[in-house]
Amino acid sequence: MLTELTHIYLYDEPSAPYLDTFELRDYLQFWLPQVEVQTRTSFAAHHIRSRPEPDQQAVSAQLADLEQGAVVVDVSWPDDPWGPPVHPDGPPLESAFELGYGTIYHSFELARAWAALIPEEESSSEQVHIAITAEHIGDFDLDDRRFHLRTIALSEPAIISTCGLVDALARPREYEFKRMQYMMVGLHEALAELEEEFADRMLEEDDPRITEILKGYVLQPVVYRLTGEPFCDDPQCRLYNSRRHEEVLRAQLTEPEFCPRHAELLRRYRDL
């Protein structure tokens, strides 16, 4: 039995130059014609501006506090991997800055902070919020007891990180091997040529393919809401949880778009 959906709210990331949320909206609308799909500006900006003007400053300050609480300050394994990733009495912290990524947010803590902005009338299970952001997100993996950057969090709101498309996915092994060699011998000027050599096998910052890539990602939280199943196991399907650059390029840019099971599910929903 398919879950009923009435609305999908798709939030933009203005800093991504090639991101076209209107094209993403039309893609979602094609598969879910009976659902109202809306595009909005960035998640925080939309919900702050929708409040009465006298309240906006206070709401913005409250959100800033909540977001600060979601910042990852220690990537070592915590006692509670799903609790706030803060260890003031533990060993010296390994900061996100030292990892080279600037600020990193615990994905589900950030989602919790943003969820507080969603008005009650938009909070039902029939409505899906999908926030695209340039922020780095991540969480702790129970399998290997390590912190990992993520591309997507199937939370409420769902969060898709454009930075994650580059930094959370593993690059080709040959690329990493050559890059390490160049760095060891000081051939820093050769790194740009290396990027060009592997351009067809990995994504880059401000990649012009981002809108096509994200078509599968914006569908993932929708299908999750419909079925309760988080991802697809078929690496050829757009709903596959890619871990490598080459995997995401194959899953999002090659035909067929979906595995037979998800293709049939989407066709059924489109024809309701």
Query: Domains, the chain, ranges and CATH?
Result: 7-168+208-270 (3.40.390.10)
pLDDT of residue 186: 76
Q: Is 156 helix (H, G, I), strand (E, B) or coil?
A: coil
Q: Note the pLDDT of residue 94.
A: 45
* In contact, 239 and 232? CB cutoff 8 Å: yes
Q: Is the pTM of this model over 0.85?
A: yes
Tokens of 63: 């959100």
Q: What is the pLDDT of residue 182?
A: 79
Query: Is residue 170 classed as helix, strand or coil in its secondary structure?
Result: strand
pLDDT of residue 3: 62
| CA distances, 54 to each of 51, 57, 58, 74, 239 (Å) | 8, 7, 8, 37, 42
Measured CA distances, 248 to 103, 201, 205 (Å): 24, 10, 15
State residue 150's pLDDT score. 94
Q: Return the bridge partners of 127, or none.
A: 7
Token digits of residue 168: 């959370």
Which segments within 32-134 are labelled E, that is strand? 36-40, 104-106, 127-133
Distance CA 8, CA 122 (A): 10
For residue 237, give the nearest of 214, 222, 254 by alpha carbon.
254
At residue 64, the 3 state secondary structure works out as helix
Rounded Cα–Cα distance for residues 239 and 241 (Å): 6
Which pLDDT belongs to residue 45? 97
pLDDT of residue 2: 55
Q: What is the mean pLDDT of each run of 10 residues along the chain (272 residues)?
A: 82 96 98 97 97 96 95 78 48 46 90 96 96 94 84 96 94 85 77 84 93 98 94 97 95 96 94 84
Q: What is the pLDDT of residue 259?
A: 97
Q: How many whole angstroms separate alpha carbon 120 and alpha carbon 115?
A: 10
Q: Supply the pLDDT for residue 93.
A: 38
